[in-house]
Structure 1
Amino acid sequence: MGRISFKGMIGLMIAGLSFAVSIFFPWWALRLIAPQYKEGLYMWVYPYKMEGDIDIINGLNHYIGMEKFSEASFPELGFLAYIVGAVALLTIIVALIRNRTLLAVWTGIVLVLAAVGIYDIYRWLHAFGTNLSPNAPIEIEPFTPPIFGTNQLANFETFSFFSYGTGFVGLGILLLLLVLWKGKANHD
């Protein structure tokens, strides 16, 4: 497949930096709005921690029998930042080696990791929304909150969305694909 051009190498370096920077921003978020919470309640999920109005959200979720959200509930938060750091480092190594075959393999691995990450979010949302306590004060039908989009639950409107960190990951993946497609050196 040949070598990666100098511009392609720079693009891969930027991709690696994008992956690294993503660690310091939230990747996914949830906003709940209701008449009593017009300003909204937020939960921000980083690759290594959760922030926001988690205690209030947990207090409300108790009424429908949902488990509490906590960093301990998501073991991935204990190691995801290290995986992302390794992806960043390996992307920079691929950039320095400048081999397009290696880039093709690496891009495939990164795409699989991204797909597994999206599935993992879905899996957790499904588990939290369908494993409701039968002893909850308010009985509702089990549900799976959307990974992205709105959902109506009683008087709460929820909006789930990918945040800045995912934007940096997306930029990194886009650059991998772009360099793979257009980054061939004219001379080996």
Structure 2
Amino acid sequence: MRDFVDRLPEITDRSIPNRGRFLMVTGAVLLAVSIFLPLWQIHLEAPQYPEGGLDMYIYSHKLDAGNDGQDLKEINNLNHYIGMAPIEEEDFAEMTFIPFLLGGFVLLALRGAFFGTVKSVVDTLVLFVYFGAFSMWRFYYQLYTYAHNLDPKAAMDIEPFTPILIGWKQIANFTQYSFPREGSALLLGATLCFVGALWMGVRSETGTDETEASEPDPATA
């Protein structure tokens, strides 16, 4: 362990191979595209909606809903019936800055590809993992808050509950489904790209490009 700690400065200064730089650029592209795709979907099914239920889509910068946005109005009508506050885009302050944060991570990933060192990849990966963990916690906290602060004077009296984050859950006569969408898949793909680039850099013993290492030394030729 002590030997590993002593070697950390040398490891972080290693160069990542060209394939690692390519992975960093690929991760940057995936992050940029994810801004325009839905990150999550919440789907509600009930007997009174036999034609497919209600859908809400969560983007990094907006809320959208099925049936040209009418599903969100219907969801809020149902929420009012059980005493839950209406879901409004204005209440999600993070939607005003998350796209800019993702843009910042795009620049960090391109910086990592440009400098091509293990430390530049670590900077990008650690900050992005922290951002992802915080975002998931924030999402869960909002679900918890919405369903625990119920109006006691509502038409229907139900116990406070927590909507499911991933999977399905029965709530009264509704079945709620919650699952990640294309945008989240791209974020996961970007994370895997960064991890792959880091792994290549750490495994590089010489800290040089693979193509350079394979060339014969003119002095010994």
TM-score by length of 1: 0.96
Specify the alignment match of 2:99 in structure 1. Answer: 81
- Report Cα offsets for 1:79-106 as digits up to 9, x if no partner: 1111111111211111111010221232
Indicate whether 1:49 and 2:62 are aligned: yes
Partner of 1:132: 150
Alignment of 1:101-180 (within 5 A): 101-180=119-198
Matches within 5 A, 1:29-68: 29-38=41-50, 39-52=52-65, 53-68=71-86
Contact 2:27/2:109 (CA < 8 Å) preserved in 1?
Answer: yes
Q: Give the whole-Å Cα distance in 1 for the aligned partners of 2:201 and 2:73.
A: 48
C-alpha contact (below 8 Å) 1:18/1:171 kept by paired residues: yes
Q: Which residue of 2 aligns with 1:99?
A: 117
The DSSP-based 3-state class of the residue aligned with 2:175 is: strand
CA distance in 1, matches of 2:186, 2:23: 14
What number of residue pairs does the alignment pair up?
A: 188
Q: What is the aligned partner in structure 1 of residue 108 from structure 2? A: 90
What SS does the aligned partner of 1:161 have?
strand
> 1:141, 1:13 → 2: CA distance?
48
| Contact preservation (8 Å) 2:25, 2:110 | yes
> Corresponding residue for 1:22?
34
What do you get for the CA RMSD once the two structures are aligned? 1.1
Partner AA of 1:55 in structure 2: K
| Secondary structure at 1:47 match in 2 | coil
Q: Which amino acid aligns with 2:26?
A: I
Deviations 1:4-45 (A, max 9, x none): 110100011000010110000010110000011131100001
Instruction: Provide the secondary structure at the position in 1 that maps to 2:82.
Output: coil
Q: Output the CA distance in 1 between the equivalents of 2:207 and 2:175.
A: 57
C-alpha distance in 1, partners of 2:175/2:129? 32
Structure 1: tracts of 5 or more residues without a match = none
Structure 1 or 2: more strand by fraction? 1
Which SS does the other structure have where 1:56 is aligned? helix
Amino acid at match of 2:56: M
Name structure 2 gaps, 5 residues minimum.
1-10, 66-70, 209-221
- Alpha-carbon distance between aligned partners in 2 of 1:89 and 1:20, rounded to the nearest angstrom: 10
Shift of 1:183: 4.0
The residue number in structure 2 matching 1:9 is 21
Does the 8 Å contact 2:16/2:207 carry over to 1? no
Q: Which runs of 4+ in 1 moved over 2 A?
A: 182-188
SS of match in other structure, 2:64: strand
